[in-house]
Chains A and B, each alone.
Chain A
Amino acid sequence: MILEKGEQILFEVRKHWFIYVAKVWVFPLLALVPPVALIVVVFSGAELPASVGAAHLALGFFFYFLWLLLLWVIAFILWTDYYLDEWIVTPHRIIDIEQRGLFYRDIASLRFDRIQDITAEVPGLIATAFKFGEIRIQSAGSEREVVLTGAENVIEVRERLSEQLKKIAEAPQRVVMAEEEKGSGVQTQETTE
Chain B
Amino acid sequence: MSSEITGTVVSYITSPGALWALFGVVVGLVATISFILHYHWRHYGVNRRVITRAQFVYFVGTGVLLAGAFFSLSGYFVLSMY
A residues at B contact (CB < 8 Å): 9, 12, 53-56, 58-59, 61-62, 64-66, 68-69, 72-73, 76-77, 79-80, 83-84, 86, 88, 97, 99, 102, 105
Residue B76 is within 8 A (CB to CB) of chain A in the complex: yes
B71 to chain A, nearest CB (A): 9
Contacts of B47 in A (CB 8 A): 12
The tally of residues in B whose CB lies under 8 Å from a CB in A reads: 30
What 5 additional pairs, Cβ within 8 angstroms, besides A55-B80, A72-B62?
A55-B75, A62-B72, A72-B65, A76-B37, A80-B41
A-B contact pairs, 13 of them (CB 8 A): A12-B47, A58-B73, A58-B76, A59-B72, A61-B72, A62-B73, A66-B69, A69-B26, A69-B30, A69-B65, A72-B62, A76-B58, A102-B40
Residue B14 is within 8 A (CB to CB) of chain A in the complex: yes
Contacts of A99 in B (CB 8 A): 44
Contacts of B76 in A (CB 8 A): 55-56, 58-59, 62
Q: Interface residues of A: mostly helix, strand, loop or mixed?
A: helix
A56 to chain B, nearest CB (A): 8
Residue B50 is within 8 A (CB to CB) of chain A in the complex: yes
Complex Cα–Cα for A184 and B75 (A):
91
B8 to chain A, nearest CB (A): 16
B26 touches A66 (CB 8 A): yes
Complex Cα–Cα for A84 and B54 (A):
13
Contacts of B75 in A (CB 8 A): 55, 58, 61
Residue B1 is within 8 A (CB to CB) of chain A in the complex: no
B44 touches A77 (CB 8 A): no
**Per-residue CB proximity of B34-51 to A under 8 Å, as 1/0?**
001100110011110010
Residue B9 is within 8 A (CB to CB) of chain A in the complex: no
Residue B5 is within 8 A (CB to CB) of chain A in the complex: no
Residue B21 is within 8 A (CB to CB) of chain A in the complex: no
B34 to chain A, nearest CB (A): 8
A77 touches B65 (CB 8 A): no
A83 to chain B, nearest CB (A): 7
Complex Cα–Cα for A65 and B66 (A):
7
B49 to chain A, nearest CB (A): 13
B13 to chain A, nearest CB (A): 10
